[in-house]
């Protein structure tokens, strides 16, 4: 893309804006109604920039041998950062992404080379319906990264839907979820409780300030029916100066206490919206 001017577009869930990213001449920031959705570097899809995307990628990298292709389902597309990363680091991976916002998909296709991502199918539809019609044991990884109008879509973290996700994940596969947390950490605690109802192995990655209740921020949730690379993730986090901690469900409960799982009968109350990006 030659032009480095910002692009504005009205999309289904708000006003989208593509802004040239700092430092790198091929990078772009995608926001919707001022809420940061994605960072994309068109020349280097392995440069992820946003910490929580780096955490998710690290879990992916450590859960399977390097370069091994995977079959991935993703609910929530945004700028398709994870899809680009998987295509670059695990050639031959087959990927399906469900994104409800058709005009947003068109924007990304027009300006961020969406069609250049190999072996990617994009469905403009509700991801919940897409997962429900997916055959059993057909995906190695399911990634959930869904926000609408800056608000986390909580029903996708409830036990009932997580059971649907577990059904489509192959033995040894991986669930990855990105969630915004208020400083009280209530929502991630409930999400972890939901995951432990469905998966035997669950970890949470978050910045120290979020875990200590000092600030809001993103958390990444990972779950599997086989042991997660917790030790390797902890070693990596320590080598990075402990800018992120990786806690098992038991460690999190010991540190911050337990919370009831999210269910259809007991959903979340008020959810703190993701803050808008200044400027």
What is d(CA 245, CA 90) in angstroms, rounded to the nearest whole number? 26
Contact 37, 198 (CB under 8 A): no
Rounded Cα distance, 10 and 104, in Å? 8
From 269, 88, 93, select the one nearest 186 (Cα to Cα): 269
- Residue 138 φ then ψ, to 5°: -115, 0
- Rounded Cα distance, 112 and 29, in Å: 11
CATH code of domain 45-256 = 3.40.50.150
Q: Which residues contact 213 (CB under 8 A, 6 or more apart)?
A: 183, 184, 185, 256
Q: Compute the CA torsion angle 115, 58, 202, 265 (nearest 10 deg).
A: -40
Q: What is the pLDDT of residue 150?
A: 39
DSSP state of 116: G
In the structure encoding, which two tokens stand for residue 205, read together? 């990655």
CA-CA distance, 72 to 142, in Å (whole number)?
6
Q: What is the pTM of this model?
A: 0.92
β-pairing, 7-11 vs 14-20, is antiparallel
Q: Which pLDDT tens digits describe the chain residue by residue (279 residues)?
A: 456 899 999 999 899 999 999 889 999 999 999 989 999 999 999 999 999 999 999 999 999 999 999 999 999 999 999 999 999 999 999 999 999 999 999 999 999 999 999 999 999 998 889 999 999 999 999 999 875 433 445 677 889 999 999 999 999 999 999 988 888 898 899 999 999 999 999 999 999 999 999 999 999 999 999 999 999 999 998 888 889 999 999 999 999 998 999 888 776 665 555 555 544
Question: Both tokens of residue 278?
Answer: 């200044």
Q: What pLDDT does 279 receive?
A: 44
Q: Give the per-residue pLDDT at 1.
A: 44
Q: CB neighbours of 221 closer than 8 A, spacing ≥ 6?
A: 175, 176, 177, 178, 179, 188, 191, 192, 195, 202, 203, 204, 205
Beta bridge partners of 144: 75, 177
């Amino acid at each position: 893309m030659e032009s480095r001017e910002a692009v504005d577009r009205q999309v289904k869930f708000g006003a989208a804006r593509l802004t040239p990213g700092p430092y790198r001449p091929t990078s772009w920031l995608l926001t919707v109604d001022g809420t940061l959705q994605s960072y994309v570097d068109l020349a280097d899809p392995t440069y992820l920039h946003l910490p929580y995307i780096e955490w998710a990628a690290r879990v992916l990298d450590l859960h399977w041998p390097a370069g091994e292709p995977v079959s991935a389902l993703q609910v929530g597309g945004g700028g398709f950062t994870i899809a680009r990363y998987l295509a670059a680091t695990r050639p031959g991976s087959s990927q399906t992404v469900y994104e409800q916002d058709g005009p947003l998909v068109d924007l990304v296709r027009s300006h961020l080379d969406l069609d250049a991502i190999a072996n990617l199918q994009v469905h403009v539809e509700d991801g919940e319906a897409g997962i429900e019609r997916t055959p059993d044991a057909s995906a190695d990884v399911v990634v959930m990264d869904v926000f609408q109008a800056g608000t986390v879509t909580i029903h996708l973290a409830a036990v009932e839907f997580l059971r649907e996700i577990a059904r489509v994940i192959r033995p040894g596969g991986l669930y990855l979820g990105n969630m915004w947390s208020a400083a009280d950490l209530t929502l991630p605690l409930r999400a972890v409780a939901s995951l432990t109802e469905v998966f035997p192995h669950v970890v949470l990655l978050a910045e120290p300030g979020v875990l200590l209740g000092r600030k809001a921020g993103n958390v990444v949730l990972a779950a599997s029916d086989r042991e997660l690379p917790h030790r390797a993730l902890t070693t990596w986090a320590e080598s990075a100066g402990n800018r992120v901690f990786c806690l098992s469900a038991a460690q999190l409960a010991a540190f911050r206490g337990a919370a009831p799982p999210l269910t259809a009968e007991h959903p979340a109350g008020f959810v703190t919206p993701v803050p808008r990006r200044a400027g």
